[in-house]
A = this chain, B = another copy of it.
Amino acid sequence: MKHYDKKSFQHLEKLFRGNLINSCTGYKSANLIATKSKDGIENVAIINSVNHVGSNPPILSVLFRPTTVPRNTYKNIKETGLFTVNHITKDTISQAHHTAAKYDDDISEFDKTSFQPIYLNEFEAPYVKDSPIQIGCKYLNEYYIKENDTILVLAAIEHMYIKDGIESIDGWLDLQKAETVAVTGLDGYSLPTLLDRFAYARPNQKVESLLGKE
């Protein structure tokens, strides 16, 4: 096995270290965050740092590096309190990747990609049309991560739209049916295939599959 230690990380070339460290924690979620500025300019950006925080109440987090492209996204969220999270699917990965390009503030990535905004139920941030799972979020709070100058935004999940055929009988979303992708590092896009779902784990009991039991 190859071994890196603390000292050897410091001596790596910057892009190499970025690729290595960004991919070492495993697969990441692949979402488009869509917002609208107070001046009415729409924005859509790929974000790999959307994560589950809690179910009751429903809360998710997004980690922002203020110096990178999603800075418009962060600014719009602060201005309006609203944003949407939209799954990226296998047919849209190159368009989604392109939203990371540094366009000027007055340019909407909706005009530079095939993605289209759609407004639902009077929610003032746009959703990404045709995304199979669309989530409407409201800013709750943020935590400044002083260790590396990043910001963890917490948001309440206030709306969710799910394409037909994805939700299981017990609420679990079958992301394989959604064709949602996962991301490795900064630029790798993968399509997962479901291996199994397991029942709640109990001491000294064999792990049991949930598939084929519905």
Residues of A within 8 A of B (CB): 1-6, 9, 12, 14-31, 48-60, 63, 65, 85, 87, 90, 93-95, 97-103, 112, 120-121, 133-135, 140-141, 143, 145-148, 150, 152, 154, 156-164, 167-168, 170-176, 180-182, 184-185, 187-205, 207, 210
How many copies of this protein are present in the complex? 2
Question: A15 → chain B, closest Cβ, in Å?
Answer: 7
Known: A1-B163, A159-B5. A100 touches B172 (CB 8 A): no
List of B residues within 8 angstroms of A56 by Cβ: 14, 17-18, 21, 148
A15 touches B195 (CB 8 A): no
Let me know if B150 and A152 touch, CB within 8 A.
Answer: no
Contact between B189 and A191, CB atoms less than 8 A apart:
no
Q: How many angstroms from the CA of A48 to the CA of B5 in the assembled complex?
A: 24
Are B2 and A94 closer than 8 Å at their CB atoms?
no
Tell me the smallest distance from the CB of A46 to a CB of chain B, in Å. Answer: 9
Q: Which residues of B contact A48 (CB under 8 A)?
A: 52
Choice from B57, B157, B197 contacting A24 with Cβ under 8 Å: B157
Closest partner residue, chain B, to A15 (CB atom): B170
Q: Are A156 and B6 in contact (CB under 8 A)?
A: yes
A150 & B53 in contact (Cβ 8 Å cutoff): yes
B50 touches A25 (CB 8 A): yes
A176 closest partner in B (C-beta): B190
The answer to whether B52 and A204 have CB atoms under 8 Å apart is no
Contact B168 A24 (CB under 8 A): no
User: In the complex, what's the smallest C-beta–C-beta distance from A112 to chain B, in angstroms?
Assistant: 7
A194: nearest chain-B partner, CB-CB: B190
